[in-house]
Chain A
């Protein structure tokens, strides 16, 4: 509501600008032509910059307002949900959400390509926030106007890259106040100077350590403020040596934080390396003996975590699945006794048939007057006929198992009418029914599975969009080269992974493998969103094929679609777990990445504990290929660094 009274000053407007890539929330606007603005808003509490770039698609309206509203509402929801991820993408009121709006707090650098016809905005963490293509003319005027309001520094390495330093005008004051709040070196300039010297040795870590303490808005942004401050505002004259230190620092920070791209070559700059990949071999499946051993005399599972771990490591022996899946899918609670389970079975059976009767007894007249219901019913009928018919269990005309599929899905409609039936659900049910071969059990286990993937079926697809965005964030961290490649080939929205995620690889694997994978994923180990790491494992495997063939948007989609039934589950699980361990151990993993897999935020920015970590870093600075500074240069800085911390 407050935003309604907000004043917007349009500083610059350019028509005919195509959105080439952007956040997943704006997936439906990609490739659309629109208008690019530079705008200034009144200052917001959490933002230091008042300058935004905004982009809005052209409207060629021939659609009733009804549909439109829905559309905007969709985007709006997504923005709200992903706000924490996308920094200052501001949630807007519904009818403005088609604007792509990015604050200059978020933009750390921008790059001009294609003789000025393309411009990429970077977030400084290796991700491209958005890319625009100028259809009429080029970006010269836009950049000229931008530079009247945003202070930029040309990159030392790439003349087409501009580092965002800050906003012109309130810059000076901001720096002052922000360094006061830093209060790291309150009155003592020598103290500050020792800090500067540290740049020489390990610029990336030094700044991270220092600034992560005070602020969680873009660290790199502050690097520039800080260096600016030293150069411009310091009373002490800069000697050549110090100048060089600062210059080197800037280059090193640039290297560590920006991704360079151009149409004909791609260089991913020295992003800090991930720890080595561990081999995580699979174990034997959970056996009947183990399963019985882990239950006490009442039939209660004694060591739930232990059993989950066994399942995660090796899956479940096929003959045991029938029992174990009921726990994994929350039909039975792990803590229940045999007696309690018998009761649950009885109660759930009654409940199921009560719901089933509701739709079975619907009269023709009721149905005629109930279009939502009719629609669902008819789609279920169509989809049941198209579900896993190649498998014996569902093959042939009038196969009774098809009727069961139909009845369970219809009853689910009554169980959760708001959700109803969404395409994809029959794929999720099919293996469960095949395994359990019992209508009631299959229904409740299906309910349990749906509970885990409910957001895949959101009316506005917000859950799917969010996952695609998460996947991109993870990929940018583990495979920056591939992620950049995808961004530059119109595939940064990760849409080609949609089918994988919607039905958890059901269409990509044969029946046995689907069951193997799902039971592992249902354990929730080793981390949340582990299915996204399976995606990473596949993408990593296909990386060379995609990049060496220089595949574009359509070829990428085709290649990924055609992986169906060519994947090896054990190999992927091994790899995905290895990727998880890397993320877990990576000291430079940002909080976005850690958050997605459910790791706690690192309290001091990216350091576990500043005191001990400073030693580790110094000791192992040679490993940090990220920092292009000659490590032999000044080793006495160790002492200073330690005393500073």
Chain B
């Protein structure tokens, strides 16, 4: 599965409402290029890009999907196996900010993440270049949302003028490293298999009850 070079390959998904700038962020990061008028995304696309952190090279496989709610069932299968998730909104679009919770839940539900608590989410407020009059979400609102949701990493970016884009991805990988090392430590103390068994056993029976009651 992983390429022959010995870089660590990390799967990164960028989620957020349509038009918040997911594709622009990806293209800025991967090819340092910004096309104001590029198409909206249909289906899924991905690009690879190497990033160096503390002398180590990581290959990021960045997945970009269509943001509209309608395409949910066809986008969610791609969440599985993600190492990092960028939750994005646009600072000039309050609705996209409010939808962050929805995106986070959708991701956790379909990505089959083992440890919800420590999953490397990064919240990205894009389009930070816009004027103050156009701004609908402040940095303070962003921080407080992150606090409430137990996410310790957030950043405002602009794909347009290239501010903070590299930083956002770098931050994501650093946070992933932290989460990894924590997971390593806990490896022996928790037993996933038993946990899983219990859960699915329960849900099946409740499911059947649901069906018979109707």
Contacts and interface: CB of A to CB of B under 8 A. Distances in A.
A87 to B, nearest CB: 22
Contacts of A34: 200
Interface string A486-498: 0000000101101
A380 B68 CA distance: 12
Given A502-B43, A558-B46, A33 B112 contact: yes
Best-surrounded residue of B1, B38, B93, B196 (most CB of chain A within 10 A): B196
B122 interface: no
A28 B197 contact: no
B208 A8 contact: yes
A32 B111 CA distance: 9
Interface stretch (A52-60, A189-197, A321-329, A598-606): A52-60
Contacts of A71: 73
Contacts of A496: 43
A457 interface: yes
Interface in A532-584: 552, 554, 557-558, 561
Contact of A60 (B61, B95, B106, B109): B109
Given A15-B196, A423-B18, A461-B74, A507 B106 contact: no
Interface stretch (B76-84, B137-145, B153-161, B165-173): B76-84
A464 B74 contact: yes
A63 B109 contact: yes
A28 B18 CA distance: 21
Nearest to B81: A31
A390 interface: yes
Contact of B37 (A33, A74, A390, A423): A390
A554 B77 contact: no
Contacts of B55: none
A23 to B, nearest CB: 13
A595 B186 CA distance: 55
Given A4-B212, A379-B68, A423-B18, A499 B42 contact: yes
B105 A386 contact: no
Contacts of A16: 193, 196
Contacts of B113: 60
Nearest to A375: B95
Interface residues of B, number: 50
Interface string A380-416: 0011011101100000000000000000000000000
A62 B108 contact: yes
Best-surrounded residue of B45, B102, B200 (most CB of chain A within 10 A): B200
B1 A31 contact: no
A28 B76 contact: yes
B190 interface: no
Given A33-B112, A95-B211, A64 B105 contact: yes
Interface in B61-107: 61, 66, 68, 70-74, 76-77, 80-81, 93, 95, 102, 105-106
B197 A27 contact: no
B149 to A, nearest CB: 12
A632 B131 CA distance: 85
A133 to B, nearest CB: 13
Nearest to B96: A378
Given A58-B199, A461-B71, A35 B204 contact: yes
A460 interface: yes
A27 B71 contact: no
A498 B203 contact: no
Nearest to A381: B19
B68 A422 contact: yes
A181 interface: no
Contacts of A8: 208
A29 B77 CA distance: 7
Nearest to B74: A461
Contacts of A350: none
Contacts of A96: 207, 210-211
Best-surrounded residue of B76, B113, B211 (most CB of chain A within 10 A): B211
A423 B40 contact: yes
B146 to A, nearest CB: 17
B214 interface: yes
A32 B80 contact: yes
Nearest to A490: B77
A60 B80 contact: no
Contacts of B109: 60-63, 67
A459 B19 contact: no
A618 B212 CA distance: 55
A28 B80 CA distance: 10
A93 B214 contact: yes
Given A4-B211, A96-B207, A136-B193, A507 B42 contact: yes
Interface string A76-120: 000000000000000001011000000000000000000000000
Interface string A449-471: 00000000101110011000000
B116 interface: yes
Given A29-B77, A31-B80, A558-B46, 11 more contacts: A27-B74, A28-B73, A28-B77, A60-B109, A62-B105, A62-B109, A62-B116, A96-B211, A383-B40, A386-B40, A498-B74
* Closest A-B pairs by Cβ, 4 of them: A389-B37, A382-B19, A498-B43, A59-B203
Interface of A: 1, 3-5, 8, 15-16, 27-35, 56, 58-64, 67, 71, 74, 93, 95-96, 136, 375, 378-379, 382-383, 385-387, 389-390, 422-424, 426-427, 457, 459-461, 464-465, 493, 495-496, 498-499, 502-503, 507, 552, 554, 557-558, 561
